[in-house]
Amino acid sequence: MKNPIIQTFGVTKVFKDVIAVNKLDLKVTGGIYGLLGPNGAGKTTTIKMMIGSLFPTEGRIELFGHDIHGKDKMDIQKRIGYVPEHPTYFQSMTAEKLLTYIGSVFHMPIQETKKKIKELLRLVDLSDARTRIIAKYSAGMKQRIGIAQALMNDPELLILDEITSNLDPVGRNQIIELLKNLNKEGKTIFISTHILPEIQKMKADSIAIIDRGRLIMEGSIDELNDELKTQVIVISPNHKLFREALSSVVPNITEEVDSLILNTDKLDEVWQIIANISLQNKIVIKEFRSTGIDIEQIFMKALNSEQLGGIEK
């Protein structure tokens, strides 16, 4: 098993009488990892503790196997890049000047800085806007220059907080494709969001769902589907006899033009019903397949299960 890139141990953060994060245990071993939760769930507080700008009330956080507040904290900082939800830049600076400044913070040689700036502006599709002041950038352009500045030190880990929340669909898709490409290059992407379809589009390797500061579920999509014991069964054709027979077994059936979609874990029972009707009535089964539910459905089922007293194991 891979060594964790990020691991939190019972992390808690209390602001006066508000518990923002409550005994949070996360483990990130690489790939794209989505931290999901409704607004106010504790995502930003968790990220601020990860990058060291907030101290936990209890617990500890390790990045690359080292305590972020230990003797290796400066080395850890050099290995991460961070983009907040609402980045603030020197608005009168151009992209080139901002990245030159970031390069100086990391004590990069001038020639190396110039080369890196050229590469990154091409990567985030801002080469043509390199001399325009950032104040005149669109929201999507500001997020892309944010990613560029986070990549100046060639980090192994990118930590991104609600990076697509204020973007239009075009801007979101640009960021999603950029992050997928960065992951292919070997970078670990840790991203918080409440916009669930985006994590699906990124093909996240693992997700964690938190609510009111508490971890509800963590794992790959397949693992969470197994834990929730829920499957999606797709049946075609959408035949009246199938619908009538299944209605007593599966309460919620979604009808499409020529298929039925069932959210249920009763795979064997459903198959027996469909097979028997097919044989008795000479109905050709065009499709019968089972798959896991998507991230949005996992999220809602996890939250509902939590509110009803916990997820069945």
Please tell me whether residues 44 and 98 are part of one structural domain: yes
Please indicate, yes or no, if residue 311 is contained in any of the structural domains.
Answer: no
Q: Is the dihedral of CA 152, 154, 158, 164 positive or negative?
A: positive
Given a cut of 70, whether residue 305 has pLDDT beyond it is no
Please tell me whether residues 57 and 116 are part of one structural domain: yes
Q: What is the pLDDT of residues 184-203, one digit of tens each?
A: 999 999 999 887 778 878 88
Please indicate, yes or no, if residue 307 is contained in any of the structural domains.
Answer: no
Q: Tell me the three-class secondary structure of 280-304, residue by residue.
A: HHCCCCCEEEEECCCHHHHHHHHHH
Distance, in Å, from the CA atom of 72 to the CA atom of 176, rounded to the nearest integer, reads 32
Q: What is the DSSP letter of 69?
A: T
Domain with 19, as residue range(s), is 6-219
Please tell me whether residues 68 and 140 are part of one structural domain: yes
What integer pLDDT is reported at residue 299 of this predicted model?
74
Given a cut of 70, whether residue 312 has pLDDT beyond it is no
What integer pLDDT is reported at residue 230 of this predicted model?
64
Q: What is the DSSP letter of 53?
A: S
Please tell me whether residues 262 and 143 are part of one structural domain: no
Two structure tokens written together for 154: 């060639």
In which band, very low, low, confident or very high, does the pLDDT at 313 lie, cut at 50, 70 and 90? Answer: very low
Please tell me whether residues 41 and 146 are part of one structural domain: yes
Q: For residue 269, give the CATH number of its domain.
A: 3.30.70
What integer pLDDT is reported at residue 274 of this predicted model?
92
Number of structural domains in the chain? 2
Q: What is the pLDDT of residues 246-277, one digit of tens each?
A: 998 887 788 888 899 887 778 889 999 999 99
Contact present, 207 and 224 (Cβ < 8 Å): yes
Mean pLDDT within 277-303: 81
**Which one is predicted more confidently, 301 or 43?**
43
Which percentage of the chain shows pLDDT scores above 70? 93
In which band, very low, low, confident or very high, does the pLDDT at 12 lie, cut at 50, 70 and 90? Answer: very high
Please tell me whether residues 213 and 275 are part of one structural domain: no
Of 45-54, 57-66, 231-240, give the lowest mean pLDDT range: 231-240
Given a cut of 80, whether residue 207 has pLDDT beyond it is yes
Please tell me whether residues 38 and 92 are part of one structural domain: yes
Q: What is the pLDDT of residues 15-34, one digit of tens each?
A: 998 999 999 999 999 999 99
Q: At what angle do helices 139-150 and 169-184 cross, to 10 degrees?
A: 20
Please tell me whether residues 215 and 236 are part of one structural domain: no
Given a cut of 90, whether residue 112 has pLDDT beyond it is yes
Given a cut of 60, whether residue 309 has pLDDT beyond it is no
